[in-house]
């Protein structure tokens, strides 16, 4: 064959391209793991959001129940005061009404009412 005369710097661009290609292969080899990690993170965030939503709904229901209990308690207090005022003129009717209000209060404080 003949004599190969090397040209200075002629092989440098090729070796640099090979080095860059090797680096690109190394970097892209980790992409499936990165995609999997991002997918797992997304699923975890979605699960956390669902859990938080469930907790907020439970808190909202509990708050609504507390408002209903508070309103019923206030109504019993108003009616008890009216029964006490009635005691001055009609003690028997006041006693009967207070007995009814005690039963109402027992229902109000029972676990069944709060459930």
Lookup: tokens for 54 = 């469930």
Instruction: Determine if the pTM surpasses 0.95.
Output: no
List the domain boundaries for the chain: 26-114
Confidence of residue 112 (pLDDT cuts 50, 70, 90): confident
> Who's near 113: CB < 8 A, 6+ residues apart?
69, 107
Residues 108, 73 contacting (CB under 8 angstroms): yes
Say how far apart CA 76 and CA 104 lie, in whole Å.
Answer: 8
Q: Is the pLDDT reported for residue 70 higher than 60? A: yes
Pairwise CA distance, residues 42 & 26, whole Å: 25
5-58 pLDDT, tens digit per residue, is 665 555 566 677 778 888 888 888 888 988 999 999 999 999 999 999 999 999
């Amino acid at each position: 064959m003949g004599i190969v005369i090397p040209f200075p710097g002629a092989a440098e661009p090729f070796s640099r391209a090979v080095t860059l290609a090797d680096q690109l292969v190394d970097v892209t080899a980790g992409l499936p793991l990165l995609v999997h990690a991002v997918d797992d993170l997304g699923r975890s965030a979605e699960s956390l959001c669902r859990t938080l939503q469930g907790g907020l709904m439970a808190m909202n229901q509990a708050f609504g129940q507390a408002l209903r209990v508070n309103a019923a308690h206030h109504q019993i207090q108003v009616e008890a005061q009216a029964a006490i005022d009635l005691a001055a003129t009609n003690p028997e009717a006041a006693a009967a009404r207070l007995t009814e209000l005690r039963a109402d209060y027992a229902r109000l404080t029972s676990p069944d009412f709060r459930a």
